[in-house]
Copies of this chain bind each other. A is one copy, B any other.
């Protein structure tokens, strides 16, 4: 077992590294649902079986070269706050925290890979990466998956593919998703239309925290719905082409805003900057909406590119769990809102002034 404090103190490849070349794409994620044929699915397994599942999986995972020096947590040994921090980093799901016996997670040293055990399936293997990176992420997760498969007896049907607790995952067991920052489409009121079109193409659109979460901060997660009857490569190819279309639409929306609504856009960005520098009370959703506008300002070269990593980190550090992590204690919502404002104020006081001239240039 790892100490949570050591885990938090270590660098995360997602938080501390650059986001890559396409500003619209925040991160790429692929997860595979996998089960062993020797045990019932977690929802049907007895407590003792779930404990055995945990032991078997942890054993197989720890042997992987990718998981050297990994952090291993059993969910029931994590505090509610520690669980929340891991959820906010997308390293575990809320479902995993619901406290069933034998629920655990193994997280790679650089935090790019996490394997949940005894969530809905025996294993949920996940690889996260900054930027738009299906090829690399797929190669990484495929290698890990094969290595685990060498050690464990996967539940697999020649007809259907990988068997999973929920029929919607049967086949590849794969869910690939990309986190997009779409302020242009949101500000110009086109997001509803885009969501409808993406749904019709068989893809799902969700907020930052998955199903049921809203699109605070103009952050949307686009993922495949279908797992059966297509190869992983086909799924990723289709998803990529949908994503390219959305990215293009976002870029067009921004261009149109710059051409016809530049003053109002400037105003929104300026106010966000002013509020972040001066507010004393800030909810997490308002913070995300303000940071979204600052991220847009960086895309528009109104702020230097080297602030992007800071702004992306602040997106995460504005989440309720991360704010409490700074204070080393759990806090009421009002106290959190005050601390969040003070953390952001301090960061933004040292930001350079907005370069409005940058916008004139990008217009012409």
Contact = CB atoms under 8 A, between A and B. Distances in A.
19 contacts: A263-B280, A263-B281, A263-B338, A264-B280, A264-B281, A266-B281, A267-B280, A267-B281, A267-B341, A270-B278, A270-B279, A271-B275, A273-B274, A274-B274, A274-B275, A274-B277, A274-B279, A278-B354, A280-B356
Determine chain A's interface SS by DSSP, over half rule: helix
Contacts of A356: 280
Nearest to A273: B278
Interface in A269-293: 270-271, 273-281
Contacts of A280: 263-264, 266-267, 270, 356
Interface in A96-130: none
Interface string A322-353: 00000000000000001001000100000000
Contacts of A263: 280-281, 338
Nearest to A272: B278
> Can you tell how many copies of this chain the complex includes?
2
A276 B277 CA distance: 12
Q: How large is the interface on A (under 10, 10 to 19, 20 to 34, 35 or more residues)?
A: 20 to 34
Interface in A40-93: none
Interface in A144-196: none
Contacts of A274: 271, 273-279
A338 to B, nearest CB: 5
A281 B264 CA distance: 7
Contacts of A278: 270-271, 273-274, 354
Contacts of A264: 280-281
Interface of A: 263-264, 266-267, 270-271, 273-281, 338, 341, 345, 354, 356
A11 to B, nearest CB: 33
Given A263-B338, A278-B354, 6 more contacts: A263-B281, A267-B279, A270-B345, A274-B274, A274-B276, A280-B356
Contacts of A273: 274, 278
A177 B252 CA distance: 56
A278 B278 CA distance: 11
A284 to B, nearest CB: 15
A246 to B, nearest CB: 28
Nearest to A348: B274
A258 to B, nearest CB: 13
Residue among A271, A279, A356 facing the most chain B CB atoms (10 A cut-off): A271
A279 B265 CA distance: 10
A338 B263 CA distance: 8
Contacts of A281: 263-264, 266-267
Contacts of A354: 278
A345 to B, nearest CB: 8
Q: State the 7 A-B residue pairs at the shortest beta-carbon distance, nearest first.
A: A274-B274, A274-B278, A270-B278, A267-B280, A267-B281, A266-B280, A274-B275
A275 B277 CA distance: 10
Nearest to A345: B270
Contacts of A338: 263
Contacts of A271: 274-275, 278-279
A93 to B, nearest CB: 34
